[in-house]
Structures are given as C-alpha cells and as structure tokens.
Amino acid sequence: QATEKNDLLDIWSGFEIYLCHAALGNSQEASQSLESIKNRFRDYAQTYLELSLDYANAGCWEDAIKVLTVSGTSLSQEEREYPLLDYNLGYYHQQQGDHEQALEHYRRASGRSPDYCFPFRLESIRILEAAIEANPEDAMARYYLGNLLFEMQPERAITLWEEASEMGSDFPTLYRNLGWAYYKIRQDIPGAIMHYEKAVALDNKDQRLLYELDLVYADGRVSPEKRLKMLQDNHQAIADNNVSDALSREVMLLVQLGQYDEALEVANNNYFRQWEGVSKAYSSYVDAHLLRGWDSFQQGRVQEALEDYLAALVYPANMMVAEPYRGGRSAEVHYFIGTAYEKLGDLEEAMDHYREAATKRQHQGLSEIHFYKALALKKLEKNEEAGDIFQGLISLGRKRLQNPEEDFFAKFGEKQTADDQKADAYFLVGLGYLGQGENMSAQQEFTEAVKLNVNHIWAAALLSQIKTGTAITLLE
C-alpha cells in the first residue's frame, strides 16, 4: 500500500493489494481494488499483458493467469478479443501442466481477429512457438511469429508465413508480408508480384496494398498502362482514404502517360493529406502543368502555356503544402514562365522571372533544379556561372554512379532502389550535357535513365524531344 501511495504508476503493487484482499476474504476491499485496477489499466490489453509477464518471468504462473482472468471481466469487448491475451493464457496453463486448458486458449486465440495485433515482446517468441507445437494447425500463430521475427530473422519469418499460406490462410496481410519480403529480402520481383496480387484480390479496399503493388510493378517493368488501370479500377478505395500514397501514384502515372487533363482533375478534386516528408502528389501537379504548358508552347499556344506555368506556382489548399524554405521547384517554374513571357514579347517580365529563377534560395548541393538556375543565368548573360553549374551536374552524376549516396529516407521504408538512384545520376549528367549543347551525349544519358526508371517523367520528356529532332524549346 505504501508503494502504491508513492507511485500510482506501479500497477504491480495495486494488483498485489487485490490478491491480498482476495486471499483474506475481504470481498469489498478486493472489489474496490479491482475497480482501481480497471481505472488505472485504461481498458488497454497491453497493460494486462505486461503485468502478467512480470509474474510469468518470476515463475508465478497462477498469478499471471489471474491477471489475464481479471482482464476478461475488466476490458471492453474489443480489447478482450486481442489474440495475445489467449496465447499468453494458453502458455501459462501449459507451464502448469494443464494442456487441455492451454490448447483451448491457443485455439481461441487462433480464431481471433488479427486486426491491429502485432507481437513485439521477446517473451512472445517462446509463447507462439509453444502454441504452434501444441496446435500444429494454427496458421495465425505462424503469421504472428513471422511478424515478430522478420526484422532480425527474415528468412525464418518467410518460412513461417509460407507455412501459414500452405495451410490455406486467406488473410490479405499475410500475402502482403510475403510480397514485401520477396521484394526487399529475396529481390524476387515475380514472386513479390504474385503475393501482392493475391493480397489485393483478397482486399482491394486497402490503399497501402495497392500502393505497394504499384511500387513492385514499377520495379518489375510492368507497363504504366497496366499499373494505371489497376489503380483506376480501385480509384474510389484510394480516394476515400486518409493516406494518399496510392492516389499520388495514380496522378503520377496519368502525367507519365501524357494524360495531363485527367491528372489535374484527380489532383484538383481530392484531398492529399500530408504526412512528414510527403509531397509526391504536389510534384506530379507541377509536372502536369509544366508539361501541358510545354506542349502548348511548342504548338504556338503560348498564352495557354503561360497560364499553365503560372498555375504551377500555386500551392493548392487541397494538397496541404506551402513553398519550402529553400524554394522547392519554384526556380524551375519561374524559368518556364520567363520563356513564355519572352515568346510573348514581354522582355521586362521575362527578365524578372529569370532573375527569380537564378536567385531563388536552394540547397547548397547541386540538384536538377540548378539546371534551370543555370538556364536562367544564361538568359541573364552570366554564361561562365551557368557553365560551372552544367559541368558540376555532369561531375556530380558521374560521382553518384560510382558511389551512390546513402538514402536518408531509407529508415522510413521509402528507400530508393539502386536502379532509381542510378537513373537520377544519369539524368543529372544528361542535364549537364544538354545545358552545354551536347544533345547526343544528353540523349545517351537520358536513355539510360529511362531504362532504369520508367517513371522518370522528365528524362523521358527530354529524350523524346531530342529523338524527334524537335527544338529543345527550354534552351531557346
């Protein structure tokens, strides 16, 4: 009681008080202690599991069972259905030699909904292993154990998931996990696609499955047309979602296939809720306006082009973005706007935008945005400074081909593939050559970029310009 008084977060002492009152036959005090436990445990299954494991790790199996028995009357119906409560109870009964009760709990756990159940404790390894040994037909225990082991023992996790699959499990996340493992661990793209397609067949309402399937499709060189159809067939599911990864891929593919009007319709009529580091949809929005404007420019519809270029400067409210501190792509957009004003004969306005493009705050390190800064510098007759940037892009691209940089976002699960990194490097080299007027060398670099990354919209656009012999209007 003194411990509980001094530390209300010490849930163990509170349960010990309940056990003492129960043993002494103090039913009223025991009931009051249970009510206090219920309030402090917050209707949260993990709190009961944690305390039960404190007892279990001390070999106090009966007390561990009592904790989870109490949870059965204290937790809400939803929390009571958490599978690990029964897996742990089964294990505790098994340690006491009550194999019949253990098997009953293991079977009950196997039938529980797996929603939001992800084992994370080391103790759960031996518990789930014991469940599999006692009930060899339990596919879900294999699924849970695979989830727990995947980070450090991926091949064992894959084996467990495959065993669960062979038992006839029709749980979509099982096949999603197999797809992810085949993709990231075994680099087996056909195998990954097979499992992801089965996951989507079982649940085509999960935007994450559709998003990841498109990532694997892209790496497997599946045609953009097939990928777009898959996303459009499930458009409502990905549009009516709090996370917009798959919807962003749909917009990107529409832009890639030159369907700019359709891309902008999707971009303008949906909300793209932003999470940390996410701006994919906005980048596609900018691409759609710039590329549609560029098409208009080349066909002599310069005023239409200007309208698109100006729209690319806008940060729509439905995309929940604002101009980055270091300018984002605004230097690129200002350069395009400058070319339109110049073509319309408004040289003063054109020069204002070229100056904006040349002086916009940027990251210190070179990037493709510096290509447009260099083009703007040429317009401002600062050819030496522009030439240094073009040569710098070539050197940087060559360096990255030899020594790829560490991907900062890899730790968030968004790691670029090696091919995508190489494609970006070839693209930088190509931009440098293009700026220097070496179109054939630029064509070779852009060709390599598109081979490695079919989604590289600007490499494909510039390559098409060079191949068709059309004047590179960006450089005029």
Q: Do domains 42-163 and 382-476 have the same CATH topology?
A: yes
Q: Which CATH superfamily is domain 42-163 in?
A: Tetratricopeptide repeat domain (1.25.40.10)
CATH of domain 170-241: 1.25.40.10
CB 202: neighbour CB atoms within 10 A? 17
CB 476: neighbour CB atoms within 10 A? 9
Per-residue pLDDT of the chain (476 residues), as tens digits, is 666 666 666 777 778 888 888 888 888 888 888 888 888 888 899 999 999 999 999 999 999 999 999 888 889 999 999 999 999 999 999 999 999 999 999 999 999 999 999 999 999 999 999 999 999 999 999 999 999 999 999 999 999 999 999 998 889 999 999 999 999 999 999 999 999 999 999 999 999 999 999 999 999 999 999 999 999 999 999 998 888 899 999 999 999 999 999 999 999 999 998 876 556 899 999 999 999 999 999 999 999 999 999 999 999 999 988 888 887 899 999 999 999 999 999 999 999 999 999 998 887 789 999 999 999 999 999 999 999 999 999 999 999 999 887 655 554 455 678 899 999 999 999 999 999 999 999 999 999 999 999 889 999 999 998 988 765 667 76
CB 116: neighbour CB atoms within 10 A? 7
Instruction: Specify the CATH class of 382-476 in words.
Output: mainly alpha
What is the distance between the alpha carbons of residues 287 and 315, in angstroms, rounded to a whole number? 13
Residue closest to 65 by CA, chosen among 105, 112, 8:
105
The answer to whether residues 389 and 371 touch, using CB atoms and an 8 Å cutoff, is yes
Residue closest to 128 by CA, chosen among 101, 94, 78:
94
Enter the pTM of the model.
0.89
Residue spans of the domains in the chain: they are 42-163, 170-241, 382-476
Question: HSE-up of 435 (CA within 13 Å, CB side)?
Answer: 30
- Amino acid letter for position 217: Y
The answer to whether residues 358 and 372 touch, using CB atoms and an 8 Å cutoff, is no
